[in-house]
Structure 1
């Protein structure tokens, strides 16, 4: 049996595709609805577009770090750790002195909320949050994850079969030059349109996809063991690391 859900949360479509005998159960529906609730709460706290979020209030100086929620403090520590892990290629500190953890929050929030789906016995599921995907298949039958063509959102440039783990993509095709290099404070200009990263954790795949895009032609070298990548050049050519397509 297959069943799907979709909602617009955190400014993006979030979908769950479930498969197996428990896909039609009340337990599955309850877990999915709780997942959406969790993501809506993250959006309330972290959105830089909502004037009453903790992030927005921090930016205006209305509250300090002692006043934010425990989740914001946790994410601040995770952002700092990601900066150390990537030798400064990742940073939530903006060139203008502000703080925007958006490059980490989505992967962290989705992976945390997905624990609710793991609690449903025997359920295969594929969770897609704006193109970043997390998969768990107790049946060992994989889902196929499509990598979107950054030149044409209606096409895919590659397909990746996954029994478990995550795939995240970063680039400028959809939102323009919104990424910046923390080392220079300037917007990233690259001959790469997107870089997708696969690995065990969606939080780290999301971070690493951003870092890889910032790194430009050196992006394969920034991926640690256990994570693989696929880059799409402006002329449509693809470059994959040696382990891409496994897992």
Structure 2
């Protein structure tokens, strides 16, 4: 049996797990890379969490920090949010109803992908990094991981799974946190017959943004996905619909 080792920590208000597979999974080098991943994600959460009073996001919202004094990383994320808004024709917007800048919809995927670069340096190990259902897969061996898509009607089960040797899978919906997603076009909670939309593709940052935009789009969600990204939607009646390349993406 191929050696495996797993880690999990609570960051950003959700469990972030790392699974290492391969002869080097139990090595000190692998453990050090995972520690670096968690340290980076903790630092990013400290900077961007809207729930921490001293985060840049909170200080900006309360007028205690101006844009000309923010950390360059905050400015970079703001630029990425603007690009995501343009890419999705406004279906993704970091400005929450009421005018507060909240980049949470981009930060999770972006930060996990960014931190995951530490794992790529340990080339003798395959990695699966899961941040609350948003998954980054790195498989130097070429052997795939099976990524489960959570059943939005029963979080203890999955509706299906996909095999991936690299890239990302991200899911957006209301099952876990209720009606927390807003339609930027109306500033109202999203109402949809879809319970969730999952997106698979090369970048977790983009997959995460596109999953949010696709869920907001409702029945038109497949048209939101650009080339190299595929999707799977779960309807309220339990039926599934996927784009043509979902199984191979």
**Is 1:164 equivalent to 2:166 in the alignment?**
yes
1:22: Cα distance to partner? Answer: 1.2
Gaps of 5+ in 1: none
- Aligned residue for 1:26? 28
- Aligned residue for 2:229? 227
**Is 1:68 equivalent to 2:70 in the alignment?**
yes
Which segments of structure 1 move beyond 4 Å, counting only runs of 4 or more? none
2: CA distance, partners of 1:94 / 1:47: 14
Q: How many residues align?
A: 247
2: CA distance, partners of 1:17 / 1:239: 29
**Is 1:123 equivalent to 2:125 in the alignment?**
yes
1:94: Cα distance to partner? Answer: 1.6
Q: Which residue, out of 178, 181, 192, partners 1:179?
A: 181
CA RMSD of aligned residues (A): 0.7
1:122: Cα distance to partner? Answer: 1.6
2: CA distance, partners of 1:169 / 1:148: 9
1:168: Cα distance to partner? Answer: 0.2
2: CA distance, partners of 1:55 / 1:16: 27
Q: Which residue, out of 223, 244, 247, partners 1:245?
A: 247
Gaps of 5+ in 2: none
- Aligned residue for 2:111? 109
Question: How big is each residue's C-alpha offset from its partner over 1:173-214, in whole Å with a ceiling of 9 and x where there is no partner?
Answer: 111111111111111100000000000000000000000000
1: CA distance, partners of 2:215 / 2:69: 34
**Is 1:91 equivalent to 2:96 in the alignment?**
no
Q: Which residue, out of 7, 10, 24, partners 2:9?
A: 7
- Aligned residue for 1:213? 215
1:125 match: secondary structure = strand
**Is 1:79 equivalent to 2:81 in the alignment?**
yes
Once the two structures are superposed, the pairs formed by residues 122-161 of structure 1 within 5 Å of their partners are: 122-161=124-163
2: CA distance, partners of 1:192 / 1:127: 26
Q: What TM-score do the two structures reach when normalised by structure 2?
A: 0.98
1:66: Cα distance to partner? Answer: 1.2
1:226 match: secondary structure = coil
1: CA distance, partners of 2:25 / 2:228: 30
